[in-house]
Structure 1
């Protein structure tokens, strides 16, 4: 058995799900996570205060293959 883990952008989830279904993969686990890498983060203003958002929303997809 092998376990496949992928961290993707949330808007790509449906596309990944459809691609896995076409390959005959019926089950997966999806978890909402936060992280950063090459994208770094961005600065936002909330109630007049500026702050840096380091962690961006991501989706972790896990599939176990036989």
Structure 2
């Protein structure tokens, strides 16, 4: 899936309660840098129905966290495996992981570019 010199962005949508496990797994494979965003979405996880003040409603957007990390010196396969292990519960709604090629990177502080900027 990956070449060691390529820059890859790994984006994962996972359960909020699994974020700690995902962070720990990323640190263990040498990819501690990440960005986390609270998001909501839907996939194969079923919608939930509820009632409030006598009115029925459907919750079909579930709360997730989006974890993004960019790697150059660590194989993206290792990062994907670490996230998958940290996020796994075996239930619907565990999430998805995407690997995206990054054309270039720029480090604002140092001016470094390419893999050195990551």
Taking structure 1 as the reference length, the TM-score comes to 0.93
Give 4+ residue runs of structure 1 displaced > 4 Å after superposition: none
Q: Which runs of 5+ in 1 are unaligned?
A: none
**Which of structures 1 and 2 has the bigger CA Rg?**
2
Q: Does the CA contact (< 8 Å) of 2:47 and 2:61 recur in 1?
A: yes
1:19 maps to which residue?
Answer: 25
Q: Which runs of 5+ in 2 are unaligned?
A: 1-6, 73-118
SS at match of 1:19: helix
Taking structure 2 as the reference length, the TM-score comes to 0.54
C-alpha distance in 2 between matches for 1:26 and 1:40: 32
C-alpha distance in 2 between matches for 1:32 and 1:22: 23
Greater length-normalized contact order (CA 8 Å, ≥ 6 residues apart): 1
Higher helix share: 2
Higher strand share: 1
C-alpha distance in 2 between matches for 1:29 and 1:16: 12
Q: What per-residue deviation string (whole Å, max 9, x for no partner) do you get for residues 24-53 of structure 1? A: 112100011111111131001112211001
Q: Give the Å deviation of 1:17.
A: 0.4
